[in-house]
């Protein structure tokens, strides 16, 4: 029972708790909350980085004229072309380069070997990658850094992995820049981290123009607590998903809402679908024929971006006006943009642009907040007002607008309007950078998992984990724990030993925990508490549980109560134990039954110290491994666990009552045996 609960009152009580609380809460969404202390007292003062309204080369100009290619790979050493047969080969730029040929062959062979669990082939592929790295190929250096940091076909060496990533990053490899930035971030070297993440965040945003969102890669979590996340996985099967097929059928029968939904799924590449602009254009056009105003706005955006069609600002303006006239308020953002740039309209008109952005903002469209922030920051058509710009940006940030997150990160980095805070800037830049095209590896990792290719999925998630993606760290660790008996993990000299697998999973859970995954913190606490893959260490277990408890996790609170009750890694304190048990119920009502048993245990401990029952309770952590298999096979059924737990409690209470009755008889020999007491 890979739970997060300590073995208490009776072994059955623990089973009941695991049955009632089988899942850990997902990582909570980021919400930026600032106080007055975060703002500069005089934000209107001159600043060397403050943007100017007429600076064409100014890097703050969100309304720049350059229009980069849609969805660029941005790095010739990306693995995506090796995974997607429809992509161009990464060797196209250097057809005569021996090191490039070695990199492509080695990486392809490595991915194939991970699928088949062929340790010999994996070792051969690793040697090819190493040879390419020796020839100076940045992609090979980046891949070799990943293998070295994970301890695949070679001893683990964090320092050598860092050095290889540095070489690759200096040569322009953006994946290695992600890995380096994450490494600096973990070490709290924010000066270094913020510079790299700022560059990566800017690159991540280059593929959106007036889009409400940049390219979307959904971070699907494979597990929910200790169980497979079946519902999320079902929804990620693309065209094989039953819900998708129903939607497609409805669209084919003329349902406008279904047509719009299909267009949206293909436009952003959601729910396991490959992005397909031609299909999205087809379904949006069909929906427009049925009068769907949301599709009108998206058609306007498609023409403005040239996404699957020839760019045509006149057409973009036409569709955006139609949508806006139907009170599709987000369309006003697109119209405002066109008036700022003078695209598809007679001439630039900053007054109209501001008016349209304000209409969007008044209707709680986060794009309106963001665009007004840009106008006030630069003084475009309005008097420059840094504080007003900050307030608009912050409202857009908490609505999830990625460009606003990028701008607020820059404000924190430069100390404009907000006090300079490199830690906050790094966190914000990182959240934007992780939306970059390199995140598409997660789609291939998920597809591999859904097809049963667990080895390939593990390799790709591990690669993304090296780049700092929390969901990938969590997924890779879960695969290592869940599929430990299968030949999917490559170690230092062949397939992973149990120790290597435990240590790698532990390291990944730890990284995920650092980034706010409370379930990861629980598993780390369990690992230290029971000595799974690491030495038993109650104090470090308590630290991990404290980390999860700080995120209002009921299981962690329960565990801390247990440790205080028994003095394991924490001071023996029954009052604190009760406090933690009570908090667990306050946070999650499902904990009521196990907490009731825990409080019963406290009562027994207080009133019958030194008794057989107390000794039995205290022995449970030691006897648990012996009966673990029996518990999982026999008692994990929730009904069995509940019935047997209640039966055990009843027996315990009857025993104590009988003992109390006999004690009364001894103390009062004249009292009739059946008299009340």
pLDDT tens readout for residues 395-408: 999 888 889 999 99
Name the pLDDT band for 47 (thresholds 50, 70, 90): low
Which residues on adjacent β-strands are paired with residue 495? 490
> How far apart (Å, rounded) are the C-alpha atoms in residues 319 and 328?
11
Q: Which residue has the higher pLDDT, 460 or 537?
A: 460
Between residues 637 and 45, the one the model is more confident about: 45
User: Across residues 60-77, what is the average pLDDT?
Assistant: 51
Model pLDDT, residue 226: 73
Q: What is the pLDDT of residue 308?
A: 83
- Cα–Cα separations (whole angstroms), residue 201 to 4, 41, 159, 539: 36, 28, 26, 39
**What is the DSSP track for 151-211?**
TSSS---HHHHHHHHHHHHHTT-HHHHHHHHHHHHHTT-HHHHHHHHHHHHHHHHTT-SS-
Q: Give the Cα separation of 142 and 121 in Å (integer).
A: 20
**H-helix or E-strand containing 283?**
helix 277-289
Q: Is the dihedral of CA 408, 409, 411, 412 positive or negative?
A: positive
What percent of the chain is modeled with pLDDT above 70? 74
C-alpha span between 33 and 645 (Å, rounded):
45
Average pLDDT, the chain: 80
Angle between helices 242-252 and 256-268 (to 10 degrees): 130
Q: What are phi and psi of 495, to 5 degrees?
A: -65, 150
pLDDT per residue as tens digits for the range 223-264: 887 788 888 888 888 888 888 899 999 999 999 999 999 999
What pLDDT does 643 receive?
47
- Under the banding of pLDDT at 50, 70 and 90, the label for residue 610 is low
Contacts of 382 (CB under 8 A, 6+ apart): 354, 375, 376
366-370, 400-404, 625-629: least confidently modelled range: 625-629
pLDDT tier, 71 (very low <50, low <70, confident <90, very high otherwise): very low
Q: How confident is the model at residue 675 (pLDDT cuts 50, 70, 90)?
A: very low
pLDDT value at position 82?
Answer: 82
Segment among 102-111, 256-265, 451-460, 533-542 with least mean pLDDT: 533-542
Confidence of residue 661 (pLDDT cuts 50, 70, 90): low
pTM of this prediction?
0.81
Q: Is the pLDDT of residue 172 over 70?
A: yes
Q: Which tokens hold the place of 260?
A: 């719009």
């Amino acid at each position: 029972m890979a739970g997060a609960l300590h073995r208490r009152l009776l072994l059955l009580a623990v089973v009941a708790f695991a049955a009632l609380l089988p899942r850990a809460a997902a990582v909570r969404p980021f919400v930026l909350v600032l106080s007055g202390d975060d703002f500069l007292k005089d934000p209107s003062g001159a600043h060397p980085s403050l943007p100017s309204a007429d600076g064409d080369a100014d890097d703050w100009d969100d309304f720049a004229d350059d229009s980069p290619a849609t969805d660029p790979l941005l790095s010739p050493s990306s693995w995506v072309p090796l995974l997607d047969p429809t992509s161009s080969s990464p060797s196209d730029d250097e057809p005569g380069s021996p090191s490039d040929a070695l990199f492509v062959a080695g990486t392809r062979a490595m991915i194939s070997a991970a699928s088949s669990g062929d340790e010999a082939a994996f070792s051969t592929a690793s040697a090819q990658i190493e040879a390419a790295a020796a020839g100076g190929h940045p992609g090979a250096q980046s891949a070799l850094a990943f293998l070295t940091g994970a301890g695949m076909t070679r001893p683990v060496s964090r320092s050598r992995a860092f050095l290889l990533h540095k070489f690759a990053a200096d040569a322009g490899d953006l994946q290695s820049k992600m890995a380096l930035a994450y490494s600096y971030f973990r070490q709290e070297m924010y000066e270094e981290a913020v510079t790299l993440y700022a560059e990566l965040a800017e690159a991540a945003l280059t593929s959106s123009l007036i889009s409400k969102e940049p390219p979307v890669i959904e971070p699907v979590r494979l597990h929910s607590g200790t169980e497979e996340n079946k519902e999320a996985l079902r929804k990620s099967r693309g065209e094989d998903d039953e819900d998708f097929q129903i939607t497609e059928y409805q669209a084919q029968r003329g349902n406008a809402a279904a047509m719009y939904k299909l267009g949206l799924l293909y436009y952003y590449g959601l729910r396991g679908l490959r992005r397909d602009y031609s299909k999205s254009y087809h379904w949006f056009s069909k929906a427009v024929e049925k009068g769907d105003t949301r599709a009108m706005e998206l058609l306007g955006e498609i023409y403005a971006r040239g996404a699957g069609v020839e760019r045509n600002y006149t057409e973009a303006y036409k569709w955006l006006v139609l949508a806006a006239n139907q009170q599709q308020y987000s369309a006003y953002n697109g119209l405002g943009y066109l008036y700022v740039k003078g695209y598809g309209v007679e001439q630039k008109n900053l007054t109209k642009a501001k008016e349209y952005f304000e209409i969007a903002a008044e209707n709680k469209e986060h794009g309106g907040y963001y665009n007004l922030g840009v106008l006030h920051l630069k003084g475009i058509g309005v008097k420059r007002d840094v504080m007003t710009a900050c307030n608009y940006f912050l409202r857009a940030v908490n609505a999830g607008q990625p460009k606003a997150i990028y701008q607020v990160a820059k404000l924190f980095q430069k100390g404009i309007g907000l006090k300079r805070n490199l830690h906050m800037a790094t966190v914000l830049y990182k959240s934007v950078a992780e939306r970059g095209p390199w995140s598409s590896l997660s789609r291939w990792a998920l597809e591999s998992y859904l097809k049963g290719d667990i080895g390939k999925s593990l390799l790709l998630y591990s690669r993304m984990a090296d780049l700092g993606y929390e969901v990938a760290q969590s997924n890779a660790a879960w695969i290592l724990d869940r599929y430990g008996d299968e030949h999917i993990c490559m170690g230092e000299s062949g397939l992973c030993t149990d120790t290597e697998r435990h240590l790698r999973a532990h390291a990944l859970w730890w990284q995920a925990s650092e980034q706010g995954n409370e379930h990861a913190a629980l598993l780390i606490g369990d690992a230290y508490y029971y000595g799974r893959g690491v030495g038993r260490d109650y104090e470090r277990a308590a630290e991990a549980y404290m980390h999860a408890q700080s995120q209002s996790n009921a299981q962690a609170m329960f565990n801390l109560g247990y440790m205080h009750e028994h003095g394991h890694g924490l001071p023996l304190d029954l009052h604190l134990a009760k406090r933690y048990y009570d908090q667990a119920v306050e946070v999650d009502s499902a904990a009521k039954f196990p907490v009731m048993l825990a409080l019963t245990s406290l009562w027994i401990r207080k009133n019958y110290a030194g008794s057989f029952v107390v000794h039995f309770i205290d022995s449970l952590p030691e006897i648990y491994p012996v009966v673990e298999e029996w518990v999982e096979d026999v008692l994990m059924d929730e009904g069995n666990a509940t019935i047997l737990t209640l039966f055990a409690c009843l027996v315990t209470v009857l025993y104590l009552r009988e003992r109390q009755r006999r004690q009364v008889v001894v103390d009062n020999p004249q009292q009739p045996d059946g008299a009340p007491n």
